[in-house]
Amino acid sequence: ARGKTGRVVGHLMGLITLMKGQPLAYNKDNQEDKEPLFDTVDTLKDTLRIFSEMIGGQVNAATGQKEGGISVNADAMERAALKGYATATDLADYLVKKGLPFRDAHETVAHAVKAAQSHACDLSELPLAVLQGFHASIEKDVYECLSLRGSLNARNILGGTAPAQVRAQIARHRARLG
């Protein structure tokens, strides 16, 4: 799919250039839009079909059995997601909710990340006493925002990462697709 992006974006640029030079009324230049437009539609349909088979697998016509598809190792994904201090922004948001100006919260988080790096651990693995050494307003509830689940749930707004929002978007798009 990545390789097809250049082709589709190239068609888009060609169509934009074609339309930019048009007068207000019909122009025969519009005849030139068919080839890139139809090729883009065909490319998109093929790409979506391939992704569907890649993700969900496909039924073998000879055996009638489902084959392929991806499988998810949730534990490995969670471990990988914790690398890189993904919840650092959540810690800053936590401190802002405690009344700290964002600039100060950002600086405090930088010190916490350095401490986590020196201990070769994630922010959520730092002892409470260490975290409280960075700011007195940090309490035991800080670990709620430092977990991946807490980070996801903190964004419970339309289009957010909270599981309820993700399920709602999936349902909405499934309904649209029929």
Task: For the chain, list residues with pLDDT below 70.
Answer: none
Mean pLDDT of the chain: 91
Query: Which pLDDT belongs to residue 177?
Result: 82
Tokens of 2: 């990545």
The pLDDT of residue 55 is 87
Single-letter amino acid, residue 146: L
What is the number of structural domains in the chain?
3
- Pair 28, 82 in one domain: no
Q: What pLDDT, on a 0 to 100 scale, did the predictor assign at position 61?
A: 83
Full domain range(s) for residue 11: 2-51
**pLDDT value, residue 67:** 83
Domain identity same for 43 and 93 = no
CA–CA distance, 73 with 60 (Å, rounded to integer): 25
Place of tokens 């930019």: 20
Burial group, residue 87, by CB count within 10 angstroms (0-12, 13-18, 19+): buried
In the numeric block, which tokens belong to residue 72? 């998810």
- Residues 142, 170: one domain? no
Domain membership of residue 65 (yes or no) is no
